[in-house]
Structure 1
């Protein structure tokens, strides 16, 4: 069995962060979200992984390498444009050949991994097996309709009038039967080859499609709100440790991880929180559910429920919360007089100002 990991999307909902970074590499608890998926695949006993990449291929390839760090053998498959999930299967056709495979969206996060799902598929081998979860607004997702026995009878992508509240989670399992399905597809109204249409084709052709409704946690980390929520969830199980230096004037409360080379002076950190390698925290407060990346500076400031990417600095600021701060960012207070906000913002930025 192989895995097909999709890491070619442009991440428009995470702009401006994704103008310069692949969305799958935005960190959760200081580890790229893509890595959690690769670890889940390895834990399920799968070794051969094809990663579908697009314009950010160089960054993805530099981060993942040959996959050996995860116990995987990685092959990169180039998708010239993000033309849909089923198009990614089409691109990977030669690589997948006649093997069964799990398709995993690289920016999705599933608590508990996929091992039980893979084991069930291997034992039962339907043409397709999908994961479903209840969502408050199914219009934003692929939606499944089940019969009284729980068998999948219909699928629709982002329907205006959903027939259920069961959305497809970004993990799918297929036999080679899906290749015939994707070869028959025409682009949807979105101009994409939809995986929901491919699964519907399998159903209409008489193939068996099974589903699992998960009650655990799943998130598509495609926007800032969901990134922060996944970061919170991962930090809940953080193993505390002090590998850097914390002076006697500082206080660490709860689950706090201070990475190697980090220095904490005259500060209070309330976990769960992680301070990345080489980061300096001085005369500051770091509140719960905060991940600070490598080589950052937090000085005379307060920050809580936020993600700070590497090499950024926050100096003299009260207070930062529920924020996603990119690489090499400088956050400083404005001059007291005249009272004004001085902003240098990239495209698609979002700013809230208390005045």
Structure 2
């Protein structure tokens, strides 16, 4: 069995962060989201992995390499434009051959991994198996309709009037039957080859399409709110460690991991939290559910429930929360006179200012 991991896409909902970084490499608890998926695939006993890459291919290649660090063998498959999930299957035909495979969206996060699902698929071998979960906003997802016996009878991509609240999670399992399906469908109104259409084709052909409704935690980390929520969930499992320097004037409370080379001076850190390598926390408060990446400086500032990426700095800033702060960003207080905010913002930025 092989795996096909989708790591293309522009990540428009995470702009401006994704103007300069692949959305799948934005870190959760100081580890890229994509890495959690690759680890889950390896844990399921799958070693041959094809990664679909687009504009950020070079960055993905640099981060993942040949896959040996995860115990897998990686093949990179270029996709010139993001033309849909079914298109990804289409262009991966040579890599996939006639093997069964799991398709995993690289920006999805599933607590507990996929080992149980893969084992069940190997035993039963339906033509396709999908994961579903209940969501409050089904219009934003692919939605499944089940009959009274729980069998999949219909699928629709981002419907205006959903027939259920069961959304497709970004993990799919297929036999080679899907290859005929992706060749038989037409592009949607979005100009994409939709995997929901390919699944519907299989259903219409009376093929065996099964579903599993998961009750555990799943998130599509495509926006800041969900990214912070996943970060919170992962940090709840963090193992405390103090490998950096903490002076006697500092207070460390709860599950806090301080990486090698980090320095904490005259500060209070309340876990769960991670302080990355070579970061400096001075005269500051770092609150729960905060991930501070490597080479960050936080001085005379307060921050919690946030993600701070590599090389950023916060100095003299009071009360930052629920924020995603990009690489090499500088956050400082505005001058007291004149009473005004001075902003330099990239395209698609979002700013909330206290009055």
TM-score class normalised by the smaller sequence: over 0.9
| 1:114 CA displacement | 0.2
- Look up the match of 1:73: 73
| 1:185 CA displacement | 1.2
Structure 1 SS opposite 2:295: coil
Matched, 1:11 2:11: yes
Q: Distance in 1 between matches of 2:105 and 2:314?
A: 33
- Look up the match of 2:149: 149
| 1:337 CA displacement | 1.0
TM-score (norm 1): 1.00
Residues 60-84 of structure 1 deviation map (CA, whole Å, 9 limit, x = unaligned): 0000000000000000000000000
| 1:317 CA displacement | 0.3
Residues 26-81 of structure 1 deviation map (CA, whole Å, 9 limit, x = unaligned): 00000000000000000000000000000000000000000000000000000000
Structure 2 SS opposite 1:94: helix
Q: Distance in 2 between matches of 1:151 and 1:93?
A: 28
Cα RMSD (Å) of the superposition?
Answer: 0.4
Q: Distance in 2 between matches of 1:185 and 1:8?
A: 21
Residues 79-115 of structure 1 deviation map (CA, whole Å, 9 limit, x = unaligned): 0000000000001011001000000000000000000
Q: Distance in 1 between matches of 2:347 and 2:130?
A: 36
| 1:206 CA displacement | 1.2
Structure 1 SS opposite 2:291: strand
Q: Distance in 2 between matches of 1:334 and 1:136?
A: 39
Residues 107-157 of structure 1 deviation map (CA, whole Å, 9 limit, x = unaligned): 000000000000000000000000000000101000001111111111000
- Look up the match of 1:55: 55
TM-score (norm 2): 1.00
- Look up the match of 1:108: 108
| 1:227 CA displacement | 0.2
Structure 1 SS opposite 2:200: helix
Q: Distance in 2 between matches of 1:304 and 1:121?
A: 41
Q: Which has the larger displacement, 292-301 or 333-342?
A: 333-342
Structure 1 SS opposite 2:222: coil
Q: Give the unaligned 5+ runs of structure 2.
A: none
- Look up the match of 2:237: 237
- Look up the match of 2:36: 36
Q: Distance in 1 between matches of 2:253 and 2:227?
A: 24
Q: Distance in 2 between matches of 1:299 and 1:176?
A: 56
- Look up the match of 1:276: 276
Q: Give the unaligned 5+ runs of structure 1.
A: none
Structure 1 SS opposite 2:189: coil
Q: Distance in 2 between matches of 1:82 and 1:156?
A: 19
Q: How does 1:161-200 map to 2 (within 5 A)?
A: 161-200=161-200
Q: Distance in 2 between matches of 1:75 and 1:10?
A: 21
- Look up the match of 2:249: 249
Q: Distance in 2 between matches of 1:27 and 1:142?
A: 26
- Look up the match of 2:217: 217
Residues 278-310 of structure 1 deviation map (CA, whole Å, 9 limit, x = unaligned): 000000000000000000000000000000000
| 1:16 CA displacement | 0.2
Matched, 1:158 2:158: yes
Structure 2 SS opposite 1:121: helix
Deviant stretches of 4+, over 3 Å: none
Q: Distance in 2 between matches of 1:3 and 1:54?
A: 18
